[in-house]
Amino acid sequence: MNHTNKFDIDLKYGQVREVELANILQNEKIEVKTERDKWMTTGNIAIEFECRGKPSGIAITEAKYWAHILADDGVIVCILLFPTDKLKKIARKYFKNAIYGGDDNLSKMVLIPLKEIFNK
């Protein structure tokens, strides 16, 4: 059994993704949001689209990518990196279930189940 060919293919594939990620981090505008411990109990991430009655967050970002950091007790658990247009598409599915939250409940947001992110 020859594993070398598969390793070579996997290595090349990984190297292409490394270059893509480096390009995003060095050359693209990225909106960065951090979600504290709440996501662990709800299984959701919150995407803000309005604050104080005005568009905000994902509704007005000019960033090509959206980084959503999931933290637990101040420690990063993971960082989800979305093309912003794809995250908007997912968020629109949950718009009718928008809630208020954030500081003084002034932000309107959609809650996206983490499992939805990995659904096709």
Which pLDDT score is estimated for 78?
Answer: 95
Q: Tokens 């996206």 label which residue?
A: 112
Which pLDDT score is estimated for 79?
Answer: 97
Joined together, the tokens standing for residue 11 give: 């290595």
In a domain, 38, yes or no: yes
In a domain, 21, yes or no: no
**How many domains does one find in the chain?**
1
Which pLDDT score is estimated for 37?
Answer: 85
In a domain, 79, yes or no: yes
Which pLDDT score is estimated for 3?
Answer: 53
In a domain, 73, yes or no: yes
Which pLDDT score is estimated for 8?
Answer: 78
In a domain, 4, yes or no: no
Using a 10 angstrom Cβ sphere, with 0-12 exposed, 13-18 middle and 19 or more buried, the burial of residue 108 is buried
pLDDT means over runs of 10, the chain (120 residues) = 68 93 97 93 96 96 98 95 96 94 94 86
In a domain, 36, yes or no: yes
In a domain, 2, yes or no: no
Domain range spanning residue 73? 29-117
Which pLDDT score is estimated for 82?
Answer: 97
State how far the Cα of 66 lies from the Cα of 107, in Å rounded to an integer. Answer: 18
Cβ contacts of residue 69 below 8 Å, gap of 6+? 32, 33, 34, 35, 76, 78, 79, 80
In a domain, 49, yes or no: yes
